[in-house]
Each structure stands twice: as C-alpha cells, then as structure tokens.
Amino acid sequence: MNLEMTTLDGQASRCEADGKAIMSLIEELFPICRSITGSGLRRTLNILQRHVPLVVNEVPSGTEVFDWVVPNEWNIREAYIEREDGRRIVDFAANNLHIVQYSRPIDATMSLADLRPHLHTLPDRPDWIPYRTSYYSENWGFCLTQRQMSSLGDERYHVVIDADLAPGHLSYGELLIPGQLDETVLFSCHVCHPSLANDNLSAVAVATMLGRYIQTLRPRYSYRFLFVPGTIGSLSWLARNESAIGRIVHGLVLSCLGDAGAMTYKQSRRGNAVIDRAVAHVLRHDAATHQIRPFVPYGYDERQYCSPGFNLPVGCLTRTPNGEYEEYHSSADNLSLLRPENLAHSLGVLQQIVAVIEGDAVYRNRNPKGEPQLGRRGLYGAMGGGRAAASDQMALLWVLNLADGSHSLLDIAEQAGIPFQTIRRAADALIAADLLEIASSAP
Amino acid sequence: MNLEMTTLDGQASRCEADGKAIMSLIEELFPICRSITGSGLRRTLNILQRHVPLVVNEVPSGTEVFDWVVPNEWNIREAYIEREDGRRIVDFAANNLHIVQYSRPIDATMSLADLRPHLHTLPDRPDWIPYRTSYYSENWGFCLTQRQMSSLGDERYHVVIDADLAPGHLSYGELLIPGQLDETVLFSCHVCHPSLANDNLSAVAVATMLGRYIQTLRPRYSYRFLFVPGTIGSLSWLARNESAIGRIVHGLVLSCLGDAGAMTYKQSRRGNAVIDRAVAHVLRHDAATHQIRPFVPYGYDERQYCSPGFNLPVGCLTRTPNGEYEEYHSSADNLSLLRPENLAHSLGVLQQIVAVIEGDAVYRNRNPKGEPQLGRRGLYGAMGGGRAAASDQMALLWVLNLADGSHSLLDIAEQAGIPFQTIRRAADALIAADLLEIASSAP
Amino acid sequence: MNLEMTTLDGQASRCEADGKAIMSLIEELFPICRSITGSGLRRTLNILQRHVPLVVNEVPSGTEVFDWVVPNEWNIREAYIEREDGRRIVDFAANNLHIVQYSRPIDATMSLADLRPHLHTLPDRPDWIPYRTSYYSENWGFCLTQRQMSSLGDERYHVVIDADLAPGHLSYGELLIPGQLDETVLFSCHVCHPSLANDNLSAVAVATMLGRYIQTLRPRYSYRFLFVPGTIGSLSWLARNESAIGRIVHGLVLSCLGDAGAMTYKQSRRGNAVIDRAVAHVLRHDAATHQIRPFVPYGYDERQYCSPGFNLPVGCLTRTPNGEYEEYHSSADNLSLLRPENLAHSLGVLQQIVAVIEGDAVYRNRNPKGEPQLGRRGLYGAMGGGRAAASDQMALLWVLNLADGSHSLLDIAEQAGIPFQTIRRAADALIAADLLEIASSAP
C-alpha cells in the first residue's frame, strides 16, 4: 500500500476532482424514489455498479431475519390528490417525498375530514415536505407543505395511489475487495431514502468513491462495503453472513457526509476498539473541529452491528448527525445542502482512517539498549527539511523508545501526540536502517 | 416489591404525612437525656419499639469488645450549681446539655477558681450551651452559656451532681426485617446524644420510618437497622455478630437528616461498592444539589464498619455533615433546626436507594442478534404518554443493548444517564414481552 | 535513618550553609573546560573526590558500548583567531565556549569566506557566545558573539587550534554508598559541559552534596551517583554494569538545579513508578509551584536509562528544564544565573524524596477490627501541640485504616493528602504503641 498517496498533500491535489465526482454521482441518484425494497432501490444499486463491481443480492419477501420478516416489495407508479375540478394539489410526480413510503394502493374520493388523518406536514416549516414511512404497519398517506395543507377547502378529494405491495425481494449491494488477510473492514450505509441528499446519498456516493480508492491499493485487510436498506437490510446481511461476522475487525456506518458541519464520530459499543481510536486520532490531527461521542443504542445500522449478540467494533461517522440539522428528513435535505468540498473532505478523512488501519502494526527496536547512533546513519535531519524536521526527529525517538513489541504504531502516535503518518514514516525509515523489525502485524 | 410506590410521584403524595410523622417522633424523643448507656437511652429505644419491632440488647459493663471495654452505666437524677444564697445558676433540669456526660457524682462547695476548670462554654456563641462528654476518663463538669459564665462572681458555689456511674448495661436496638435472601442491608445510626435534634434524632426517626416502610415491602434482601451508642455501640454489635458480618452486602450510616442543607454522601472505604454507586445515582437524578465525598477515617460509626478488619461496604448519608453546621454539638441543634419537608425528603432519598438495591439484577437479552421488532409488540410508545415517552423508548433500547449477562441494571442506568426506575420499568416491560430473562439476581 | 533530619524545619537551619557550600563548589568548577573526555573532565572529577569518595573510571577510546564507540580523547591547549596584525579577535583563553567542542587541530591562514562556515553566533543575542559540539563527525569551529562576528572585515585570518584528538580514555565518576539492601537508587548527572553553570554544574554540585548527606545516614537502599559525560557516558556505564542494572529500583537524572524557576519533574517511561509518585508527592507538599510532565524520549540521559531494553524507573528532576530558559547553551548560563537559595532548595527537595524512598514500607494494623482506643494510650493529642495536632490525629487514623498489608505509607500519604513525613511519624508512634507491625519493607 502506498501510504504517501493518502497524505493530506496527496489528497489536496485530488480534492477538487473528488468533490466533483461525488457530487455528480449524487445528482444522478437524487431523483430516484428509493425505499427499503423496490425498483428505485434496484436502479440505484445498478448505477453504483457502473463505478464499483457491486454484487446485488435479492432476499425474498417473507424471509425471516432474526426477529424480523422481510416485507413485501413496494413499487409505486403514480400518486396524487385531486380536487373535484381535476386540479392536482399534491403529486408524487413533483416530489417523491409526497407519498408516505409503503402506502398501500387506493383510489377513492373522500371528504377533507376523512383525508386529514392521512396528511402529514411540518407546521413550523410551511414550505418543506416531511419524509414519512410506514413499513411495518399497513397504511397510506401523503406528505405535503403546510402551505398546501392550508389551501385545502372543505370539499371532496380524489385520492389515487397506484402502487404494488406484494411479494418480491429486498435488494442490497455488497462490494468485496479482497486483501492479503481474511480479516475484514466493514463500511455500511443505508440506501433506502428517496430524494434526500445528505441523509444519505452523500454517504452512498462517498462510500462508492472510497471503494474505488481502496481498489487501487493492495490492501492488507479485506474490505466489505454494504449498501443496504436501513435496519431490515443490515439485519438481512447479518443473518445471511453469520459465519463471516467474526472476521470483521473494524467497521464504520457512514451517513450525512456532505453538509457543512464538523465531523462527528459516534464510538462503537466497545468504546475503545481500534476503529474508535483510529478515527479519534485522525480527527484530532485533522484541521477541522470535530466531536467524539460515546455509543448510544439509537441511530443508524450500528444499532444492529453493535447489538449484544454481535457487538462488532463498528462506529458511525457523520458530519452533522441525524436529527441535529433542521433540514433532516424533509424536502430541504436536497442537493443545495451539499458542497463538493465537504464531500471531498469526508472522503479524505476516510482515506486517512484507512491509512491508519492499514499501516498499524507492532514493531520491535532491534537495538533496544540505549539509543542507536542515528547521526552516523544519516537519520538526524535526513528525513525532511524545514519545519517538519523536528517532528520527524521526535517521531524517530518515539518509535525507538516504544517499539518494544507491546505498542502498536497507533499507540505510539497517540502517546507522542504526532500524526500517525509521521510515525509510520519514521518506522519505515528505521526499518530501512535495519533498526526496527516487525513484531506482529496484528496490533 | 412494588417499585411504583417508591417513585417520586408516589412519594410526593406521602411527603407531608411522612414529614409530620417523623417530626412528631423527634419531638417526643427530644427532651430525654440519652447517653451511651443508661435509662434515657433505654427509654428512647422503648419509644421506638412502639413504631417498629425493635429488639433491645443489653451488654454488661466490663464486656470486652475488641480493644475496648463496655463502660459502667451512667444515670443522672439531678445536677446544679448553686450560689451561696441558694439560687441555682446552672441546672440540669433546665437543659440536659448542662452536664458533661458521664460526670461522676459530687456534692461540694468550692471557690470559682476551683470550679472554673470544670466549666465549658462557647465564647463565640454567648447564648449556646456546648455538648461535652468524658466517657472514658473519670471527671465531672458543667456546660453553660458564656453569658452564664460571665455572671459568675468570685464567691463560693455549691456543686451537686447526683448520678450513678456503676456496673450495669449498654443498651442498643436492633430491627431485623428478613428478606428472601440472607444477604443483608445495614442501616446504622447513633442514638446516644441527649437533647440534640439534627445530630442525631433526625436520623433515628427517619431510620425508624424507613424500617416501617421496608416492612410493608416483601424485600429481596434482609435488612438490619441498628440504633446504637456511638463507637462502643457499633463495636459491641460487631463483636457480638462477627459470624454474620460477611452477609452485609450494602450499608449506610445515617445522621443529620433534618437540616436544610443538600444531601452529602461519604463513600465507603471501598469507594466503588454498589452502595456507593447506588447512592450517587439516586442523588444525581434527585432534584436537589448534593455532594459525593471520598471516605476519610473520621466521622461516625462508618469508622468502625470500615476498619480494615471488616472493610464493609458502608457509606454515610447526611444532609450537612457533622461539624459543618455551626449549631453542631450545641444547644442550638434543637427542634427549630429541623423542617418536616427536609426529613421527608431524606426518607424519600433513602426509599429510592432501597429501590435501586432491591431492583438491581443482571439480565440477558433473549434476542441478542440485532434489535427485536418492538413495534409489533406494542413497545414503541406503549410505555407511557407525553414527554416521558422518549426517555422510556431509550430505556428499552439501552436495556436490550446492554443486557448481555454482564451489565446490571444499575450499570445500564449509569451508562444511559437515565434514572434507575425508568430502566427498571423498561426491563419489566421487556420481560413481559418475553424479550429479556434474568441472568443473575446478584449484581 | 534519622527522618527528623530531613524535615523542612531541620533543613531550614542548614539551608544557608548548604547554599554556600554548593555555590562555592560550582565557582571552583566553573572555569574548567570540560568535554565528554579529556583532562578538564578528569580534573573536575578529582575536585569532586575532595567531597565524596568518588571512584573515577576510565574507558579506553574505541570501546564498543551498544551501538556506539567511545571516541578519541580530546584535549585542547590553545585556540584563537588572529587578524593579520596579530590582534586576537576570538580567544579560547578568554572563554572556553569559544571553541566548538572536539574541534580538530588547525593552524592556517584563510579568507573570511573560508572561515565563515566555521563560525557560530546567536544573532538574536549579540553579546552571548553559543555552545556547540561536534563529537561524532570530525570538524572544527569557533563560537563568538554576534558583535564579534560583525566586526570581522574582509581580510585574512590566522586560525589556530592547538588540540589533541587521539586515543585515550573517557572518564566518569561513580559514588557508591552501600545500604542495608542491594536494591539501588540511582542519581545521574552529566558532567561534560564546559563553563556552563545551571546546565549542569548546578546539578553536579547538588548531587555531590546529596551524596555527602546520604553518607551521614545509614540508608536502607544502596545509592549510586554517576557523574558522566552525556549519552556516551551513561551508555558506557550501562554497558559495563549490565548485570547490576536489575537492582536499580528508583532513579533520577539531575540537571539545571540552580535557576529561579519552579521545580519540574519529568516522569520515567513507566509513568507510575514509585519514584514518579514519590517526587510528585514531595513537590505537591512543597511550598513552591511545580510541574509534572510525562516522559518524552528527548532530554538528558533518562533517554538511555529509559530505552526499551532497560526501561529503568528513572525520571528527571530540574528547575527550568533544558531549552526552556533563554540562557541555555550559551555564555549567559553562567554563575550569575544561580542563587544559593535555589540550589539549597533543590537539595532540600532531593532530601525529602530520599526520605520518602527510605521511609516507605507496608504495615499491618495489629488491631484491625474497629479502631483501637487511642485515648488510653495517650495517642490522642500526644503527638504534638498547637496547629499540627489535627493533622497528626488524622494521620494516626489514616494509617490505622489503610495499614492492611496492601497499602504502603506512600499510598496512605497520597490517599490522605497528608505529607509523607507526618504519616511516617504516625506509623512510628503506632509501632511504639504496639498497634502496628511491618508487613513488608519493600513497598
């Protein structure tokens, strides 16, 4: 693995191109009406397949996955509310958030009083359409702006939902990048939301580009990217892959990676897994402010990966977390909320995290009694010039001092307060000078 | 055990009645001249027996208890200082603090110069009588106000102390409430102070009412309430019950529970015993401010329970601690220092602590792989209405996530930052839904 | 060991005498041109021998010590830069910092352009001469003030360095004070700097006086004081004493002990060794402000003692650390930077540290069940008078409570927040009263 490619300098030159590529993929995916099953979800996975060799899995409706059952497949063609004069007030064709996901078919004329319980708005945000679902209890409904709602008079309305809710399949995408080891790093994102941009097309697109990037490496670990419908999708994958779950050694759930907020990391249930430390280390040395939060059993699919029967070392990386930006779960979570530079920055942070995971190992100082004479080996001042030199010098001394077979490079980077990549370069220089040897590749 | 009875709501309705009952008992006990032995102590225990089935134990003078010997029994009938004209200046009949406890009998006339070394005042508080004792070195003396002292002219005084200091018994009270388990919770308070209200009739009365309350439960643990003379009383109990001491799994020394100060908890010598965590948890979620302090080997009978040969998990719960309010150990520590609402609040906190101890256990999620589908079991929003719902929902998720056979409910409540009773209700709901099972009743 | 001699009171009376004696020794040593080898170093050790029975060891040039080789011995007689008119501009005779240490001999006339690369100044401090060395790559050079440098015109200069750089020996001094135990306490200071006062004659002289002081005790531990050239000297000692290294149980590198800054302690690599706790304890109870810093693999010879192959419990005690005062490594680090009272204070702190190390042990309460009755043994109020009494009383209670065979006196002092010497006196009083017995002399 060429670690230099993952340095901030390397990223800087690719940043603009990355941002554009991610944004362009999001723009293509945005109009599609995704749900936890159905043709919109399938079309989305097919588009991702143009970028990475995604395998699309199909799980039949009715399949039992732990305590759950895969629901019927939902496909919608048309949905609207029409006045008696034939004018359409609310139309799925205008915005796919107008329909409550998993609405059953209906074609009826009814009074406003009868219609009202099926209408959902955001009274405080009169121009936004909310996002609502009813996956597991059969129902129907429309989401509309408060302004639309206010315009409804006491007349009769023609309500049409032309949808199928019938046995079919749940689809999810899986990208496997084999590494030198069977030990696997998991990246998971939910791909079931309709036209919502930050939650979660931002992460779907960033994960796709991260997958492309890792394909260009010869990684030590194997990598598994999951593009799954929330909850039922991750549960389906877990149920179908129980024997392989023990090989997952690090993991991240990704979401909300395009807004302008600072990076936020929610730790795995374990709290002190290597992934928890690696992410915290990268964020601490990244220029941006950031937040580290302890695990709570609410959020995205980390709820499933971190359930006590699995307890996988899987954290959750976002910019502004779910529910903490006001556009969340509304039509305002659209393309205008995203910035290419934020998306590229999120990708860069993930690449740095991968570099830590890939580059970490336990070394042993081959000359542990006293310091070796670095000067005659050209290691004093030989690693770089200018202001970086002092930090490089200290990195050499830290690695020599702590490379006793019990500290990983990440341990050393944390104790030294020096970025991992500098510590890693120092280790490489010491290996080249025959002063260091590998003790264990598994930290 | 009906946990609902111990919630804050349940307590609110009983608060006024509790406060009145506790205050009334204190008022009855206040005039009695208690000491570490004698008829006043015995009378006090007899009054408590009207409220709870206290066993009164009598330990003969001269009994060796570890490094100590039970002293002679002290009984006083009359004590005064008389001017030559027969006017009494200081009279035990007016306030039983006027006599130094354990004063030997005397009937003599002497000069002020000879009398003076036997007189004790609080110069900074000219209207308060100090409280003084001389249990273990034979002496005699009077306590008086600085104002009384200043009025003494250079004449001769007739000094009378009509007291017995002779072989007899040391009395202490013991209330045992058997539970389902032999493991025992200890509550201990000192009952040897004469007319002092906060230190310690407040705790004597609150403990009595707590005993009454626990009698109405069918507790899991056995409970042992000790009403003992300070130091020699707890040592006597320890010496006579050495074989049972290993069964004490939680304990609290109680004192100063009626003043207006915030609750203060002094940890057991262990510092991280379950009682330490339970009390801290209850105080953290209680409305009032509070203090948690580490163990120090000075204070009340926790000094004996926490001596290294026993090292029992016994902390000390007070409002304002001994020595930290100015009325402490003076005639100003009287009924006017107490408020029924403070006494009732102290009882309520103790009931909550009992609820944590009683309700704690280790559970196991029966569906540990992924989350169970709470919706189809009516557990989403089914636990309560309005604002409490979100916390109840989170409580369900926390219990499911951490019920892995290694976290107790108290562990879960602490990690979730949710009150124990909410966590306990969530566990009960999950048990009812067959989603949870007991792993171990002993946390 | 007479612990009373090490109390602050005892030191107060000796403080002025100590300060004078240390200062006087420094003044004698200051003019000598020391280096990592050579006659100046040898003369310095000989002067120290007048105060303590130092053994001077000689290691032949060319000896391999771990990754290093002992260099040739360097001796300098004369060095100067002369104008064509014979006027000396820079003269070693005026200040021995004028010569780059280990300069090879030269006698040549050259242009300013050729001379310039061999001249070193401190441009920001135009009147100070820097201190420079070139031990391990053969070179020559002069250090001068920026003012001298500015006066150099474009003419030819006669450059003379009359020095030997030839096989000889590296000298170091070693003072062994045998104690009752083989377990050894190490004090190490570098003695290789020419006319620099704070770095490090201050520590050389303080260590000498500390050695004298410990000789007057009958110490429990053995003590080993090293006066070594930096890096190569400590490495030489380590290489020649590998079999004895395991007996070093506590150690301190000493430097910069005469300036006006607060005491600074840099922890050993272990971070929580007894020496780390003992120094922190003494500094915490010392009147002065102080700093405790974690280990970093840069600094003085603790780099060697704490290399992973040895990992000795050796910290570093200074006032202002190396590189953090502006006079560091320049002619301004001279006698005027030192104050006798600072030197004496440093010695006093070291004596207190020795008192903790010497006085620490693990005891067992012989009466562990309940408190013993201190009153009848005269231990209440019997230890001292006035304001010290309360602290003494608490010390008795703390020792009785924690002397359970698993807490050392230092543990007790830390938990009690009471100075070690008070705890130690309490332990002595309890031993005298037969209430305490030794459990283990090795904490």
Instruction: Give the CA angle between residues C258, C259, C264 to the nearest 5°.
Output: 90
pLDDT tens by residue, A203-223:
999 999 999 999 999 999 999
Residue A365: list chain C partners with CB under 8 A: 307-309
Disruptive mutation site among C366, C377, C401, C411 for chain B (greatest number of B CBs within 10 Å): C401
Cα(B396)–Cα(B365) distance, integer angstroms: 11
pLDDT tens by residue, C399-426:
999 999 999 999 999 999 999 999 999 9
Residue B306: list chain C partners with CB under 8 A: 401
CB-CB contact of A349 with A289 (8 Å) = no
| Mean pLDDT (whole number) for A109-127 | 97
Run of H or E including B287: none
Contacts of A371 (CB under 8 A, 6+ apart): A397, A400, C67, C231, C303, C304, C307
Contacts of C387 (CB under 8 A, 6+ apart): none
Cα(A95)–Cα(A194) distance, integer angstroms: 10
How much is the CA Rg of chain C, to the nearest whole Å? 25
Shortest distance, CA C7 to any CA of chain B (angstroms): 26
Interface contact A401-C297, CB threshold 8 A: yes
Cα(C221)–Cα(C243) distance, integer angstroms: 18
CB-CB contact of B102 with B134 (8 Å) = yes
Chain A contact for B362, CB < 8 A? no
Disruptive mutation site among C365, C366, C367, C369 for chain B (greatest number of B CBs within 10 Å): C369
Residue A6 pLDDT class (50, 70, 90 cuts): very low
CB-CB contact of A166 with A365 (8 Å) = no
Top pLDDT among C10 and C340 is at C340
Residues in chain B, overall count: 443
Beta-carbon neighbour count of residue A309 at 10 Å?
A: 15
Q: Both tokens of residue A304?
A: 């499933």
Cα(C178)–Cα(C221) distance, integer angstroms: 7
What integer pLDDT is reported at residue A13 of this predicted model? 67
Which residue is closest to A369 within chain C, CA to CA?
Answer: C309
CB-CB contact of B312 with B268 (8 Å) = yes
CB-CB contact of C361 with C440 (8 Å) = yes
Average pLDDT, chain C: 94
Cα(C1)–Cα(C218) distance, integer angstroms: 5
What integer pLDDT is reported at residue B382 of this predicted model? 42
| Mean pLDDT (whole number) for A291-304 | 97
- Mark which residues 151-170 of B lie under 8 Å from A by CB: none
3-state secondary structure of B438: strand
Task: Say which amino acid occupies C349.
Answer: V
Residue with tokens 């009743």: B441
What integer pLDDT is reported at residue A392 of this predicted model? 86
Chain C contact for A402, CB < 8 A? yes
- Cα torsion through C191, C197, C200, C204, rounded to 10: 70
Does the structure show a pLDDT above 90 at B3?
no
Instruction: State the helix-helix crossing angle for B409-416 and B388-402, rounded to 10 degrees.
Output: 130
Q: Both tokens of residue B329?
A: 């150990």
pLDDT tens by residue, A258-278:
999 999 999 999 999 999 999
Does the structure show a pLDDT above 50 at B418?
yes
pLDDT tens by residue, C132-169:
999 988 999 999 999 999 999 999 999 999 999 999 99
Residue C381 pLDDT class (50, 70, 90 cuts): low
What integer pLDDT is reported at residue C9 of this predicted model? 57
Residue A68: list chain B partners with CB under 8 A: 370, 373
Cα–chain center distance at B32: 19
Q: What pTM, to 2 d.p., does this model score?
A: 0.93
- Mark which residues 264-283 of C lie under 8 Å from A by CB: 269
CB-CB contact of C96 with C129 (8 Å) = no
Contacts of B298 (CB under 8 A, 6+ apart): C394, C397
Residue with tokens 């009998």: B105
Cα(C252)–Cα(C318) distance, integer angstroms: 10
Residue A385 pLDDT class (50, 70, 90 cuts): very low
Residue B372 pLDDT class (50, 70, 90 cuts): very high
Cα(B74)–Cα(B244) distance, integer angstroms: 30
Q: Which of A2, A12, A87, A77 is nearest to A40 (CA)?
A: A77
Chain C contact for B68, CB < 8 A? yes
pLDDT tens by residue, A48-91:
999 999 999 999 999 999 999 999 999 999 999 999 999 999 99
Q: Is B364 left (phi over 0), alpha (psi -120 to 50) or beta?
A: beta
Q: Which of B377, B357, B354 is nearest to B426 (CA)?
A: B377
Q: Both tokens of residue B194?
A: 């004469």
Residue B397: list chain A partners with CB under 8 A: 297-298, 303
Which of B67, B137, B306 has its CB closest to that of C372?
B67
Task: Say which amino acid occupies A112.
Answer: L
What integer pLDDT is reported at residue C392 of this predicted model? 86
pLDDT tens by residue, B219-266:
999 999 999 999 999 999 999 999 999 999 999 999 999 999 999 999
3-state secondary structure of A81: strand
CB-CB contact of B279 with B318 (8 Å) = no
Shortest distance, CA B397 to any CA of chain A (angstroms): 6
- Mark which residues 110-129 of A lie under 8 Å from B by CB: none
Cα(B108)–Cα(B99) distance, integer angstroms: 16
Does the structure show a pLDDT above 60 at C6?
no
This model of the complex carries an ipTM of 0.93
Residue C4 pLDDT class (50, 70, 90 cuts): very low
Cα–chain center distance at B121: 28
- Subunits adjacent to chain B (3 or more Cβ pairs under 8 Å): A, C
Q: Which of C300, C225, C289 is nearest to C261 (CA)?
A: C289
